[in-house]
Structures are given as C-alpha cells and as structure tokens.
Amino acid sequence: MGVRGFKQLTPIPEAQRAVLAALTHVPRAAAVPTPTAVGKYAAADVVAPADVPPFDRAAFDGYAVRSIDTLSASRTNPAMLKLVGKALPGRPHQGALGPGEAVEVATGAPLPPGADAVVPYEEAAAREGYVEVYRPVPQYYYVSRRGEDVVAGEVVIRRGRLIKPWDIGVLASLGIKEVPVYKITAAIISTGNELVELDDAPPPPGKIINSTRHVLEAMLREVGVEPHYMGIVPDDEDVIYERVREALREHDMVITTGGVSVGEPDHVVSAVSRLRPSVLVHGIAARPGRPNSAAVVEGKLIAMLSGFPVASIVGFEVFVKPAVLKMAGAAEEPRPVVKAVLTRRVTTPINVRSFVRVRVYRQGGRLYAEPLAVTGSGILSTLTRGNGLLIIPENREGYDEGDEVEVVLLGPIE
Amino acid sequence: MGVRGFKQLTPIPEAQRAVLAALTHVPRAAAVPTPTAVGKYAAADVVAPADVPPFDRAAFDGYAVRSIDTLSASRTNPAMLKLVGKALPGRPHQGALGPGEAVEVATGAPLPPGADAVVPYEEAAAREGYVEVYRPVPQYYYVSRRGEDVVAGEVVIRRGRLIKPWDIGVLASLGIKEVPVYKITAAIISTGNELVELDDAPPPPGKIINSTRHVLEAMLREVGVEPHYMGIVPDDEDVIYERVREALREHDMVITTGGVSVGEPDHVVSAVSRLRPSVLVHGIAARPGRPNSAAVVEGKLIAMLSGFPVASIVGFEVFVKPAVLKMAGAAEEPRPVVKAVLTRRVTTPINVRSFVRVRVYRQGGRLYAEPLAVTGSGILSTLTRGNGLLIIPENREGYDEGDEVEVVLLGPIE
C-alpha cells in the first residue's frame, strides 16, 4: 500500500491488515518481581518448577484415615478409629498412621504417611480418644494430591498472556519470584501551535489544553504499555521529523497527535514520509476519526492520531491496541457487550465504520440505547454522558429506531 | 444477624445485605492531579468551570463563510467569495469577515467574527484569490459552537464515578488540574503458621507460600483501593485481635486470610468477635469459598477470607468489592458475559452458589464451556487454564451437558 490521498480513505480492516503485516518489531523482555507483573504480557512461557500441592494434603476439615479401615462403616455400625494426633497447616503430625488409627486434620494440613483419605467432621464423631466413622470413604477422598493442581515442568503461563491477579496467585504458589514480561514503551509527541499543557490552564485566547495526551497516556497504561511523553512540538515539518526519528530509536512505538488533516497544516504525514515508511495509511474510513493515520518504519508503528480526544480514541483502537497485542503475542481481552433497543434512528455513511456513543439505560426490564452524537470528533462530553459505544459497520447506513443493536459497555448501566 | 454456627451457612444475598446495611464508614477524600485520577472514584461532583469549546470553531477543514452569502449557490452557479485570510488552530484570522468574504480554516481554528458556517473543501474550490462555493450551507454548518459540548456550571463527573481515561480528557480540556477522589486503603493480615513469604521461597517442608496476599493486593488495586500488607501473624487469637484492632484504626477496611474453618484453628472469627461487631457472618453458602466470613465493626468491613487463593477470590467478590462500591457511592462496572454450550454435566448442591471455572472455546461458529473443577478451593491451575466463570445460582443443582449457560469471561477466548 502506497501513500494515499486523504480523499481515498482506507477502510479500517484494510488499514489494519497492512500495518500489522509490516509490524515486525519485538519489544524488550525483562524479568520483574512476580507481584508487579499484573497488567503486563508474559514474554516467555513460564514453567512450574515444582508440584502443587507439594505434598498430599487435607482438602477438608476432619480426620485423616486409611480408607481401607472404613470399608464396612455405616451409621449403625461405625468404624472405630483411635485418635492419635492432630495436624494443622504447617504443623504436620509427627509419625505415620497405623492401621485402625486416625489423625484430626484441618484443611491444608499435610496428610500423615499411611493416611490416604479424609473423613469430614460431618461424617464422623470423636468420642473419648476414638473417632466413629459413619461411611466408607474411597481412596483420596478429600485429599489434594501432590501435583494434582500443577505438575513440575508444566507450562502455567503462556507467552503473550496478559497477567491477571489470579495468575500471580499461581506463580507465587509455585515460588516463582520473577516473571519475564515485555517492557513496551510508547512515545507521545503532541503537535499543534494551539496547544498548551494542563499545568498552564487556563489557556490564553485561541489556545486549547493538550488533553489528548492524557487520554492516550491512560489508555496505554491500561493495555500494559508505559507512555513517554515528549512534549508539544510546533507545526513544523523539520521539527516533527527530528522528534519522531529520535522517538523511534528509543521506543517500541511512536504516537503523534494533531497535524493530520486534509488541509494545512498536515506536517506530520509529510515528516513521517521522509522516514521512508514501508506502509503509510493516510486517513481511515472512520467517523469520527477520519484523520487518523499510521505508518510503519523499521518494523515499528508510528500512529498519527487526531488531536481531538474522541477521534484519537478511535485511532488508538484501530492502530495502537492491535499493534500492542501483536508485539506481545497477545489476544484481545473480551469487552462487555449488551443488546439494547435503539431509541432514535441513526444515519451513518456507507463504507465508513461509525462509532456512535450511546447512553444505555434499563426500563421495564429492557435495555435501551440512546444515541448521543453521530458526528463531531470534538464532542467530548458524550464520553462522560454516555456509557456505551455502538459500532456501525461499513456495510450499513445506520439503524432504525426500535432496532436491537449490540453495544459495547464502557461503564455501569444506570 | 447474630453470630452463626458454621454449619448454618448464610446465603450470599442475605450475607451481603446484612454487611452492606451496617457499613457506614466514609473514606477520606483528597484532591489528586487529574492525570493520576484514572481508576479512582470521584469523591464529589465535578463542575465545568468554563464552556467547551471556549469559542466557536471550525469542525471541518474548509472555508469559514457567512451562511447568508451561500443562499443561492449551486454547482452551476457558485457563490464567489473573496479569500481574505487563513485561520489555524491557535492562529486566528486577524479581523472580522465582511459580506462576500471567506477565510480558509483548519479543523479546530477559531471562527473569525462575522463567519457562522464552514464550507468543507469538497463543496468548494479556490481560484485566484476567490472561493467558489457549490451549495448553500445552513447557519453553524460544521461549526462547533461555544459551549455546545459542555456549558460552564454543568456537572461533568458525578460523585462515585470510577474515572476512565476519557474522563481525564474531559477534565483536562476544562482546565481542571485536580480531582477529588476517595483514598481507600485496605489492610491485609495473613494468618497461618504454615505461611512463608514469596521472598523466602522455596518453602521448608510442610510450609506454603503466602500467595493469597498477592492475589488480593492486585484485586484491590483493580477496584481502586490501595492495599497495605501487615504481614503474617501466627494462629493466635490474641495476636490476631491486636493486629486487626490496629488495622481497623488506620484503614477503611481490614482483610484477613486464613484461620477461618470449621475445625481448629478458627482464631480469626473469635478474635474479631471480641471487637463487638454489629454484624458477623460466619461462613457463606458458596462453593468454593464456604469459610469466607465477614464482620462490621464501627461501620467498617472486616472481611475474613479463606487462605486459599481461589476461595479468597470468591470472598473478595462477595464482601470486599461490594463494600468498596458502597463506600465510594459507585455502581459495579459491567463484565463481559457470553452464552456458551456446556460440554459436560455440572452437579452442584442446592441452596449454595457455585462458582465453576470453565474454559470457553469457539468451534464451528459456536461457543462451548468446558467445566474445569467444581470443587477444590485449592485448585489454582484452573485460574490459568480457564478463561471463564459459570455462576450457578442457589436454586439450581447444576446444569446438563448441552445446556446453554451464561459465562463471565475472565480472559480471551481461544
């Protein structure tokens, strides 16, 4: 795919295919302490160094027994076992269990040698140094067997997995102190003579605050990427070229905001073109988010996003997130989707993917979706007023009032 | 609700109602820099200090015009307007627009005084100092009007909202440098003579690593709470009592792990009972997660969770998360749910809510859910092998093979 004029907007699927195919950069991997790995991507398969559990242990509170001793037990004719001790988690019973003996055990306690089953309290009763067992228990009844959970050598975390809180539980249980994760960094370069930083608010007349930077920083962190903000650069092709080149050397991807547009100043695409990209997509068939563009240079993504927060989010979803997932070998996390009845007709252009922010609410046991704005990449407040996103595919010109539509939920339903 | 024996397990809805009704503690609010507020709960309504946009601006690239000048324009008889200048974002055109004049504008540029519409490039052409406009444009065509997005004084973020990346965009655009958020802290006290820390791995024989602590720390951060780990305490009622009392003074909630069980050592519930709780739930009708208990002391939650990671997650969902949401005045975030065909019959006890981990996969265009383990709170590996959770309500004894069930997705579908 060559350089395209802005008038021929590239359809999103085609743009994504071209960019992802050219993306060959592999980010740096580093071992980090296991508890800090949540929200990062595993950079290699992680293998269990030992069995879990490391020993046979009680899976219930009760009595450790030899199952054979309970063979003919019943409520009318209980097995009478001699209570010879007690085992707690971390405090094993000293010595083995002989025939006709029982040891009181708490969940998690190591099973004494000789024992092969646990009789829960409910199915037994202790009387004067003896335990009456009311039923036969099979071998390994309420026993967590050594290695039944994880066997040494088994892969417990696959490369590319986004590490979740419970994964930390598995890794920590295995005594794995460090995990290899991808350290993905993204440079953010904000372009625009009109921009001032939030710290400099209120802005002078005609200037606006660089809010898009903060949206992108937060979204990058949510997908496990560390943002590196490189400041505001003026609408000057040479300056942008130098800054992007510098960022590309240091980081796994570069995100620019602003300066992509059909009119002047369109310095960003010109600047990036000088880096001899293998792919350059100039504008996508998205609404909002038309100016979002992307290039691949030396196997790395340069995402040239709109300067408007709402449009930049579309560009983030189209280019940045898929690139992060590809670099990390990861699959996309599921998103909450509901079916809702559209309260008003929405008309969108054909051959364009439209992102319509909606407010989803419940009424009379049904869910409704009220469209908030079809156009207007500048309309920020729909982000806080709405709690859902209706994505209208390229082959539709919208939906009618009363249509049942699928909405991606971005927040709680009122 | 008084102290209950463990054998009468409290149904989850009843346990939650009792605990939440007694929960009156309000966490401390503090103003934090806006960009760091993501993932925290707004502690007060946030009001817009100014209009957004702060001035009328171009919503498209093209020409700013007086709409009345285009009234009779057509492709065969275009309106001829004199091009008198150019406006870029941050670089307004100097001076007003007179009758019969046009100014070239880029998206985001302030509209010159006198102009009230923008003609996109596509509907016009520039020739020798003039612009030919091919169609009439209505007033405010492609104009983002001052205050059309947000009006000064409007509530943009409601108290209790979990702040999202795009909310930061709205707040930053408004020049709001700080946001009041709840600073919720939770103490974690791990009990158990069998525990050693991950740093001390591999554990000596009979000991196990305190992995549950790390799972809870990560889950707390995910719901916007700062964990404060207070270490491992031995199974000693007096020590536990002192430590919980100390934690309760300093933190918004206290979470203990381990030591809740039908057998000995059940020191935690005894210790907490001495704090004269207004509510004490000892054990819940959950599988896994039966030992999870909770108390409310001085309006604060003490969640007494199982020492097993899998069971503690159930206790977290039942007691900790709802308490955080109540303290923050927040609604629960939506979770991804899919319908899938059960590949194997699952039998669960009546009057108990069962949490069955499943592996959801796609085959021939349908989703299937393979149950991984019905019992076994110790079975950790289902957390990494599975990607879904099937919650079986109290009024069912399971599902049959082939039943269509709703599964909460915890990770990508393979």
The pLDDT of residue B54: 83
The pLDDT of residue A207: 86
Beta bridge partners of B370: B359
Contacts of A209 in chain B (CB under 8 A): 172-173, 175
A positions 89-148 inside 8 Å of B (CB): 89-92, 104-108, 110, 121, 144, 148
> Same domain, yes or no, for B193 and B234?
yes
Over residues A280-328, the pLDDT tens digits come to 999 999 998 989 999 999 999 999 999 989 899 999 999 999 999 999 9
Contacts of B172 in chain A (CB under 8 A): 198, 209-211, 214-215
Q: Sorting pLDDT into bands at 50, 70 and 90, what band is A5?
A: very low
Residue A127's contacts (CB-CB under 8 Å, 6 or more residues apart) are none
pLDDT at A4 over 60: no
> Same domain, yes or no, for B192 and B298?
yes
- Give the C-alpha separation, B163 to B140, whole Å: 33
Question: % helix / strand / coil in chain B, to the nearest 5?
Answer: 20, 35, 45
> Same domain, yes or no, for B318 and B345?
no
Residue A41's contacts (CB-CB under 8 Å, 6 or more residues apart) are A160, A161, A162, A163, A181, A182, A184, A224, A328, A329, A330
Whether residue B264 and residue A88 make contact (CB cut-off 8 A), yes or no, is yes
Whether residue A398 lies inside any domain: the answer is: yes
pLDDT at A236 over 70: yes
> Same domain, yes or no, for A323 and A372?
no
The pLDDT of residue A9: 87
Domain termination residue (choose one: A328, A345, A380) = A328
Distance from CA of B88 to the nearest CA of A (A): 8
| Three-class SS state of B313 | helix
Distance from CA of A22 to the nearest CA of B (A): 24
- Give the C-alpha separation, A280 to A272, whole Å: 9
- Give the C-alpha separation, A169 to A184, whole Å: 24
Identify residue A40 by its one-letter amino acid code.
Answer: K
Number of alpha carbons in the 13 Å side-chain half-sphere of residue B42: 22
> Same domain, yes or no, for B215 and B284?
yes
Angle, helices A321-328/A12-22, rounded to nearest 10 degrees? 30
> Same domain, yes or no, for B77 and B136?
yes
Residues B230-257 have a mean pLDDT of 97
- Retrieve residue B126's tokens: 């520039």
- Interface residue B56 vs chain A (CB under 8 A): no
Beta bridge partners of B233: B191
ipTM score of complex:
0.89
Contacts of B378 in chain A (CB under 8 A): 53, 57, 59, 108, 144, 149
**Cα angle for residues A254, A256, A262 (degrees, 5° grid):** 135
- Retrieve residue B28's tokens: 């401390």
Looking up residue A96, the CATH number of its domain turns out to be 2.170.190.11
Q: Both ends of chain B: CA-CA distance in Å?
A: 45
Residue A173's contacts (CB-CB under 8 Å, 6 or more residues apart) are A52, B208, B209, B211, B309, B380
* Whole-number average pLDDT of chain A: 92
- Give the C-alpha separation, B52 to A378, whole Å: 9
Over residues B215-240, the pLDDT tens digits come to 999 999 999 999 999 999 998 999 99
Pairing of strands A225-233, A155-157: unpaired
Whether residue B166 lies inside any domain: the answer is: no
pLDDT at A351 over 60: yes
Looking up residue A373, the CATH number of its domain turns out to be 2.40.340.10
Whether residue A157 lies inside any domain: the answer is: no
Mutate to test the interface with A, among B159, B215, B222 (most CBs of A within 10 A): B215
Looking up residue B252, the CATH number of its domain turns out to be 3.40.980.10
Number of alpha carbons in the 13 Å side-chain half-sphere of residue B233: 26
Domain termination residue (choose one: A283, A309, A328) = A328
Give Cα separations from A224 to A46, A189, A371 (angstroms): 19, 19, 31
Over residues A84-103, the pLDDT tens digits come to 999 988 889 999 999 999 99
Whether residue A262 and residue B217 make contact (CB cut-off 8 A), yes or no, is no
- Give the C-alpha separation, A116 to A138, whole Å: 9
Domain termination residue (choose one: B295, B328, B361) = B328
> Same domain, yes or no, for A358 and A395?
yes
The pLDDT of residue B2: 33
Question: % helix / strand / coil in chain A, to the nearest 5?
Answer: 20, 35, 45
- Retrieve residue A361's tokens: 């609410």
The pLDDT of residue A1: 34
Whether residue B2 lies inside any domain: the answer is: no
Over residues A198-225, the pLDDT tens digits come to 999 998 877 889 999 999 999 999 999 9
Whether residue B358 lies inside any domain: the answer is: yes
Distance of CA A170 to the CA centre of its chain: 18
Percent residues over pLDDT 90 in chain B: 80
Q: Which of B198, B211, B263 sits opposite A106 (nearest CB)?
A: B263
> Same domain, yes or no, for B67 and B136?
yes
Residue A28's contacts (CB-CB under 8 Å, 6 or more residues apart) are A182, A183, A252
> Same domain, yes or no, for A268 and A190?
yes
The pLDDT of residue B90: 80
Q: Going edge to edge, which strands form the sheet with B130-133? A: B117-120, B62-65, B101-105, B79-87, B130-133, B124-127
pLDDT at B6 over 70: no
- Give the C-alpha separation, A77 to A69, whole Å: 13
- How many structural domains compose chain A? 3
Whether residue A368 lies inside any domain: the answer is: yes
pLDDT at A28 over 70: yes
> Same domain, yes or no, for B353 and B376?
yes
* Whole-number average pLDDT of chain B: 92
Residue A371's contacts (CB-CB under 8 Å, 6 or more residues apart) are A342, A343, A344, A346, A356, A357, A358, A390
Q: Which residues of A247-266 are buried (b: 16+ CB within 10 A; e: fewer)?
A: bbeebbbbbbbbbbbbbebb
CB pairs under 8 A between A and B: 309
Whether residue A173 and residue B217 make contact (CB cut-off 8 A), yes or no, is no
Residue written as tokens 């070998």? A329
Beta bridge partners of A126: A131
The pLDDT of residue A292: 95
The pLDDT of residue B7: 58
- Retrieve residue B395's tokens: 């009024």
Q: Which residue has the higher pLDDT, B192 or B28?
A: B28
B111: left (phi over 0), alpha (psi -120 to 50) or beta: beta
The pLDDT of residue B242: 98
- Interface residue A388 vs chain B (CB under 8 A): no
Question: Which of B180-189, B221-230, B366-375, B381-390 shows the lowest mean pLDDT across its residues?
Answer: B366-375
The pLDDT of residue B4: 35
> Same domain, yes or no, for B347 and B373?
yes
- Retrieve residue B247's tokens: 């934690």
CB atoms within 10 A of CB B197: 17
- Give the C-alpha separation, A216 to A233, whole Å: 17
Question: Which of A9-13, B205-209, B397-401 shows the lowest mean pLDDT across its residues?
Answer: B205-209
Nearest Cα to A302, choosing from A215, A239, A352, A240?
Answer: A240
Nearest Cα to B222, choosing from B126, B137, B146, B333?
Answer: B333
Q: Which residue has the higher pLDDT, B308 or B227?
A: B227
B411 secondary structure, DSSP code: S
Residues B33-38 have a mean pLDDT of 98
Nearest Cα to B49, choosing from B134, B169, B150, B188?
Answer: B150
pLDDT at A67 over 90: yes
B positions 8-37 inside 8 Å of A (CB): 34-35
What's the alpha-carbon Rg for chain B, to the nearest Å? 30
Whether residue B375 lies inside any domain: the answer is: yes
Residues A220-247 have a mean pLDDT of 97
Over residues B72-92, the pLDDT tens digits come to 999 999 999 999 999 988 889
- The domain in which residue B71 lies consists of 57-144
The pLDDT of residue B406: 97
Residues A70-96 have a mean pLDDT of 93
Distance from CA of A53 to the nearest CA of B (A): 8
- Give the C-alpha separation, B42 to B29, whole Å: 9
Whether residue B174 lies inside any domain: the answer is: no
> Same domain, yes or no, for A324 and A186?
yes
Rounding to the nearest 10 degrees, give the CA dihedral for residues A303, A305, A311, A313: 40
